[in-house]
Amino acid sequence: MRPSLPTLGTPPKRNRLGSVVTISMILGAAAGGVWWWKQRPASSEPEATPAAALPAAPPVVVVPTTPVVPTDPLTAAGLSRASVKIEGPLETALVQATDPSVGPALAQVVTRSLVWWVQVPNEILRGDTLDVLYQTRPGEEPLVHAVRFASNKTGQTHRAYRFQAAGDSNPRYYLPTGDEMEMRLEHSPLDDYEQITSLLRDGRRHKGVDFKAAVGTPVKAPFAGVVKRKNWNFGSNGNCVELEELGGKRRRALFLHLSELSRGLTPGSRFSTGQVIAASGNSGRSFAPHLHYQLMTQDDRVIDPFDSHRTFRRSLPAAQRGALEAEIRRMDSLLAPSVAGNSP
């Protein structure tokens, strides 16, 4: 029989106090560490710098910008250019070169120059070239500053430039020779006007010559005669008067769209050549200040004043040629290249 092993007895009970002490020591050590971290010298941790102590931000320096100067000479001059080779109607060519809001009016203004060189429209031919410098104006027709027209009909390059001579109240269009582009009438009804805007030979079938002139410009009788009638068909003609020549060719002269008539001017009144009979205006069916001057025969045939009057071209005084030549050089530098030619 095997000997019995000694009885070891029940396992000893665990001391709870020891565990508590152990845990307490661990927590105490941790708490002590935290206290030590908080008590370490202040110099060991960087302090936040107060906002007031921060150096001021450097001031923002605003450098003035130089205005942008247009580099395009045309833009700098406030002008536009249309250059066309004519292959059909002039208006169509200019509408294609500009836009529908500019082309039709520009064609009318340019025609006022072309009529002094060729018959319009019959002598404007395919292959002709045209260069125009113009300025658009809200509510007004374009203002043309220079025209260059190379004509196959005449075999010449024609040029005209807008220029205001010293002492003149209106700019005029001049040829490179220093002569005015437009012919003038001897015994003209107007001494002073800006431009002739309509002629019998401009293709518009207008019965008279229209002078663009300021309201109030004196209107003179082109011949000696008698007043035949005044202020008829007022809705269209506005203030108007018809004169009849005594002797000579027995012509009749009609003046329409006047601002006023001279006092005492009644049917049967006599007048002499050059006598002021009225003032130009914008009355009746008129879209801008101008004078309508119409010549008729006794049997109601229309006469072209430029065929009935003697005509001449006024020349720029020699002292002002230099200023005109400088303007021509400036305009030529802005015109597009075209067919070469030296004739005016």
CA distance 165 to 167: 6
Predicted pLDDT at 4: 44
Predicted pLDDT at 202: 84
Phi, psi of 327 (to 5 degrees): -70, -35
CA distance 298 to 314: 32
Instruction: Show the DSSP H helices in the chain as ranges.
Output: 16-38, 73-77, 90-97, 103-114, 234-237, 305-308, 321-334
Residues 6+ apart with CB under 8 A from 5: none
Predicted pLDDT at 66: 67
Q: Over the chain (344 residues), what is each successive 10-residue block's mean pLDDT?
A: 42 49 51 52 51 60 64 90 96 95 96 95 96 95 97 97 94 97 97 93 88 97 97 96 94 97 93 97 95 96 96 96 97 75 49
Q: Is the pTM of this model over 0.85?
A: no
Peptide bond preceding 189 in cis form (omega within 30 of 0):
no
What domains does the chain contain, in order, with CATH numbers? 73-182+313-336 (3.10.450.350), 185-312 (2.70.70.10)
* Contact present, 191 and 218 (Cβ < 8 Å): yes
For 138-179, give the DSSP string.
Answer: TTEEEEEEEEEEEETTTTEEEEEEEE--TT-SS-EEE-TTSB
Predicted pLDDT at 247: 87
Convert the pLDDT of each residue in 207-251 to its tens digit: 999 999 999 999 999 999 999 999 999 999 999 999 999 988 899
